[in-house]
Amino acid sequence: MTVEAEAEAAIPADPHHIPEGADYITHEHGLKSWLTTVDHKRIGVMYLISILLAFFAGGVFALILRTELLTPGKTIMEADTYNEMFTLHGAIMVFLFIIPSIPAALGNFFLPIMIGAKDVAFPKLNLASLYIYWIGAIFTLIAIVAGHIDTGWTFYTPYSMRGDNSAVWMTIGVFILGFSSILTGLNFIATVHKMRSPGMHWRRLPLFIWGIYATAVIQVLATPVLAITLLLLATEKIVGIGIFDPALGGDPVLFQHFFWFYSHPAVYIMILPGMAIVSEVIACFSRRKVFGYMFIAMSSVALALLGFLVWGHHMFVSGQSEYATMVFSALTFLVAIPSGVKIFNWLATLYQGSISLESPMLYSLAFIALFTIGGLTGLFLGTLSTDIHLHDTYFVVAHFHYVMVGGTVFGFLSGLHYWWPKITGRLYDERWARVAFVLVFIGFNVTFFSQFILGSRGMPRRYYSYLDQFQPLHMTSSGGAYIIGVGFVVMAIMFAKSLKSGAKAGRNPWGSAGYEWPHPHNFAEQPVFTRGPYDYHLATERELFTGTDEEWDAHMAKKGEA
């Protein structure tokens, strides 16, 4: 039997086949059908809901933080409560929200569709990762409810060795979350390597996939180190093995090396998917193939690899050797290169495009501006002499919010707005989306730009109270945070209205040439790709048509008449 014949014959019936007229949301009903599904789209949606809840929780903690910081002394809570608040804010935002955000939610939904696969390589494992995520979240909740967890998201020893055992619950929770992340990454790598449809060669891979792929590599290779670190930390705390606790001859600086060996690469787990979305959105709203496609793709891989070599830049003042400090500083600068390459190529994509400014594009353009600020201030921190002054001040807080919120969250929101019609089948109210954008954008800059100034002037982070001279800037920052809050409320209402009463979306509301759009959901038959995902000049009129199927029929009928 020939290979083709065997392939032909072996294609089995799809047990999850979605009948005509139904879609992945409506073809089965009931909670059970969701909790036992192996459909990557449903799993993606469940992730999306989970991370939005986490973001909401983290955001509420942030608003509490900002409220406390309105006045130098006590405003609404005591010092130790404040310390719990920023620990929970940081840990929830990082481990429960931002790391799974784009890959696990949007990635799960779109990765298989964009490469023409029916599902990810291991659908059951995919569902298992979601359950593992939930279990990790429950442990984190236990730590919050049962105890007093005030170590900061970095869990530095020996402080984390003290206090009650809620730190153990928290570390176990994060340990479990780590495995969820590893399994998701593993699944995606296998999917990208083995599940691509004919014609989907590496040079045609959508940039979103390249970004998620590079992210997955970091997830698989860096997260286990965090896992073992947290395991050692928990064991140290419970039985005292003497590795990190100086009272037993251990070394707290070693803990920091272990922690950052994961957590620096983790910042690229956060930003690469954001960049991946921006590449898609810029191409779509400029109607043009991304300029320097291969350079953007390779810069993602370069960031993933270089990211493993710079962890020591978080430890310039920790007491690590001067030699290590020198090497880490030098390598840190190299990371700026691939980031710059992306920015320049995005700009070049706009050149001679046909640009429209709907909300996804607004978020992506904002990403470019805000990430540039975040990245450039990263250079202040990579430079040794200035980092000595700025380390552990609000300058660092501002830096990482510019990259994580201005970067990743804006990228995520861009993707959410972009793919919302595909996920829900409905359109949202573009005017309100823009109102929310403006509020979030302004609020964000007010909140965090003032923090750069605070930090340069010497305001340390994780401070419950501060010198009177810093109050005006702190109040400005808090005011900005409330504006962000209002912006998100507007956005939440806007999306809720779309779910309830939004107009039915056509197959391709933005007129994108991307593969994920033209087909109702996954491809019914295995597709054979004959053009790249950004080849607008090769896409058919049907593919780029923005209206609903009925409108298309009407359109064709009219054409026929003419």
Partner 1 sequence: MSTEAHGDSHFLQHHYDTPAQQFNAAKLGMWLFLAQELLFFGGLFVAYGVFRSWYPQAWVVGSHLLDYRMGALNTAVLLLSSFTAVMAVRSAQTGNQKATGNFLLATIALAGVFMVVKYFEYAHKFEVGFLPGSHFAPHGVGLAEIVEAARESGVNGVPYHLRTFFGLYFVMTGVHGLHVLIGMFVMGWMWNRNRKGEFSTRYSTPVEMTALYWHLVDIIWIFLFPLLYLID
Partner 2 sequence: MNQFSQLPPQMSTFAPDVDWMYLFLFWLSVASFVAIVAVMVYFVFKYRRRPGVEAVPTGHGNTALELAWTFLPLIVLAFLFHEGFRVYVQESVPPENTVDIHVTGKQWSWEFTHSNGITETNEAKIPVHTPVRLIMSSSDVLHSFFVPDFRIKRDVVPGMYTTLWFEATALSTPERPVRVFCAEYCGALQGSTNGNDRNTNHSTMMADLHIIPQEEYATFLREGGGPPAECADAVDVNVCWGQYIYAHNGCSACHEINGEAGGHGPNWMGVFGEEIALEGGGSVTADDAYIKRSILDPSADVVSGFGNIMPPYRLRDQEIDAVIAFMRSLNAQ
Residue from 60, 128, 142, 186 that binds partner 1 (CB under 8 A)? Answer: 186
Burial call 121-152: b when 16+ CB within 10 Å, e when fewer:
bbbebbbbbbebbebbbebbeebbeebbbbbb
429 binds partner 2 (CB under 8 A): no
Is residue 358 a contact partner of residue 285, using CB atoms and an 8 Å limit?
yes
Burial call 390-412: b when 16+ CB within 10 Å, e when fewer:
bbebbbbbbbbbbbbbbbbbbbb
Q: Which stretch binds partner 2 (CB under 8 A): 26-34, 49-57, 120-128, 460-468?
A: 460-468
Residue from 26, 33, 36, 469 that binds partner 2 (CB under 8 A)? Answer: 469
Build a one-symbol-per-residue string for 215-254: x at contacts with partner 1 by CB under 8 A, - elsewhere: -----xxxxxx-xxx-xx--xx--xxxxx-x--xxxx--x
Q: Which residues, in sequence order, are CB contacts of 308 under 8 Å at separation 6+?
A: 218, 221, 222, 261, 264, 265
Beta carbon of residue 277, minimum distance to partner 2 (angstroms, whole number): 17
Beta carbon of residue 192, minimum distance to partner 2 (angstroms, whole number): 23
Q: Which two tokens stand for residue 9?
A: 């014959």
Binding to ligand HEA, residues 466-495 (CB under 6 A): 477, 481, 484-485, 488-489, 491-492
Binding to partner 2, residues 125-164 (CB under 8 A): 148, 150, 152, 156, 158-159, 162-163
Binding to partner 2, residues 505-524 (CB under 8 A): none
401 binds ligand HEA (CB under 6 A): yes
Mapped onto helix, strand or coil, the DSSP state of residue 504 is strand
Binding to partner 2, residues 51-70 (CB under 8 A): none
Amino acid at 453: I
Beta carbon of residue 94, minimum distance to partner 1 (angstroms, whole number): 20
Question: What's the per-residue H, E or C state across 359-424?
Answer: HHHHHHHHHHHHHHHHHHHHHHHHCHHHHHHHCCEHHHHHHHHHHHHHHHHHHHHHHHHHHHHHHH
516 binds partner 1 (CB under 8 A): no
- CA dihedral (36, 39, 45, 50) positive or negative: positive
Beta carbon of residue 380, minimum distance to partner 2 (angstroms, whole number): 5
Build a one-symbol-per-residue string for 257-286: x at contacts with Cu ion by CB under 5 A, - elsewhere: -------x----------------------
Residue recorded with tokens 């990211």: 307
382 binds ligand HEA (CB under 6 A): yes
- CA dihedral (354, 355, 359, 363) positive or negative: positive
Build a one-symbol-per-residue string for 86-125: x at contacts with partner 2 by CB under 8 A, - elsewhere: ----------------------------------------
Is residue 290 a contact partner of residue 534, using CB atoms and an 8 Å limit?
yes
Q: What single-letter DSSP state applies at residue 116?
A: T
**Which candidate, 101, 234, 126, places its Cα nearest to that of 173?**
234
**Smaller CB separation from partner 2, 221 or 384:** 384
Q: Which residues, in sequence order, are CB contacts of 88 under 8 Å at separation 6+?
A: 58, 61, 144, 149
Q: How many residues are there in the chain? A: 562
Binding site for partner 1 (CB under 8 A): 6-7, 9-16, 112, 117-123, 125, 182, 185-187, 189-191, 193-195, 220-225, 227-229, 231-232, 235-236, 239-243, 245, 248-251, 254, 258, 526
Binding site for Cu ion (CB under 5 A): 264
Binding site for ligand HEA (CB under 6 A): 52, 56, 59, 62-63, 65-66, 86-87, 89-90, 93-94, 97-98, 152-154, 267, 270-271, 313-314, 332, 335-336, 339-340, 343, 372, 375-376, 378-379, 381-382, 387, 391-392, 396-397, 399-401, 403-405, 407-409, 447, 461-463, 477, 481, 484-485, 488-489, 491-492
